[in-house]
């Protein structure tokens, strides 16, 4: 069974540009969530999508957006990049059945903004 | 507002000793609580999740955590540490806030296992 795939794995952009990151969840998982990890701010929750709808979101500015497609693949977009957006962006896919939840993370996309 | 406090950014234990990683949370509504592990240069992995079904939660790799509402704690334990347990551990709380479920992570605890 294939794991969570994130592309690209590494990315270098300059300030003011925009970037799109992709996440392919585990087959059968309909929930995808995104997280940002930086040395200074630690782990922060960005948003969660389920069946193409944003269900939950964190406290990030509107420059951070996402979407989910009918095949559950998700994309995250960051517009007008700032130096502080340099981070490891993690995607996770989840399968929830009652109280049980299995969640698997991808390897992340490391974004460097120059 | 919700928050998570992990006491001790670094914890060292001897191989075979008890592992105890502390997590205290605050939440104005009943929360879901999580422990995650991140091995060096790897992604995150969900260790266990508390959902109110049972206060003692068993996770993978022999870890367990107990939810104590009166102490607002969700400490992670393992009876006997293995070298392979060396990693960074994150506690997280997920609760409803402003119409959404928000997830807040602790700052992490790096576990060192001494042979």
In order of A27, A47, A93, B63, B95, the CA distances from A73 in angstroms are 10, 14, 10, 32, 25
What pairing do the DSSP bridges indicate for beta strands A5-7 and A19-24? antiparallel
Residue B98: pLDDT above 80?
A: no
Q: Are A21 and A89 in contact (CB under 8 A)?
A: yes
Residues of A whose CB is below 8 A from B103? 33, 45, 56, 58
Residues of B whose CB is below 8 A from A103? 46
B11 vs B111: CA distance, rounded Å = 5
Angle at B53 between CA B49 and CA B58, to 5 degrees: 45
Q: What is the pLDDT of residues A34-74, one digit of tens each?
A: 999 999 999 999 999 999 999 898 999 999 999 999 999 99
Q: What is the pLDDT of residues A78-98, one digit of tens each?
A: 999 999 999 999 999 998 887
Q: Are A25 and A34 in contact (CB under 8 A)?
A: no
In order of B40, B48, B62, the CA distances from B13 in angstroms are 18, 21, 16
Site from A99, A106, A108, A109 to mutate, B interface, most B CB atoms within 10 angstroms = A99
């Amino acid at each position: 069974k294939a794991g969570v795939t994130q592309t690209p794995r590494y990315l270098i952009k300059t300030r003011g540009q925009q970037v799109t990151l992709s996440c392919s969840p585990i087959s059968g998982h309909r929930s995808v969530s995104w997280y940002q990890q930086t040395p200074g701010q630690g782990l922060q929750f960005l948003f969660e999508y389920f069946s193409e709808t944003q269900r939950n979101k964190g406290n990030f500015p509107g420059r951070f957006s996402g979407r989910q497609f009918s095949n559950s693949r998700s994309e995250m977009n960051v517009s007008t990049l700032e130096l502080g957006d340099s981070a490891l962006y993690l995607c996770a896919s989840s399968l929830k059945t009652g109280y049980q939840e299995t969640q698997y993370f991808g390897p992340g996309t490391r974004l460097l903004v120059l | 507002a919700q928050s998570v406090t992990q006491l001790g950014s670094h914890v060292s234990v001897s191989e075979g000793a008890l592992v105890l990683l502390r997590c205290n949370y605050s939440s104005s509504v009943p929360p879901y609580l999580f422990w995650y592990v991140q091995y060096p240069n790897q992604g995150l992995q969900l260790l266990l999740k508390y959902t109110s079904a049972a206060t003692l939660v068993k996770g993978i790799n022999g870890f367990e955590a107990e939810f104590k509402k009166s102490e607002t704690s969700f400490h992670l334990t393992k009876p006997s540490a293995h070298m392979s347990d060396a990693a960074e551990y994150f506690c997280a709380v997920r609760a409803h806030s402003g119409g959404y479920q928000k997830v807040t992570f602790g700052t992490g605890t790096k576990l060192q296992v001494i042979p």
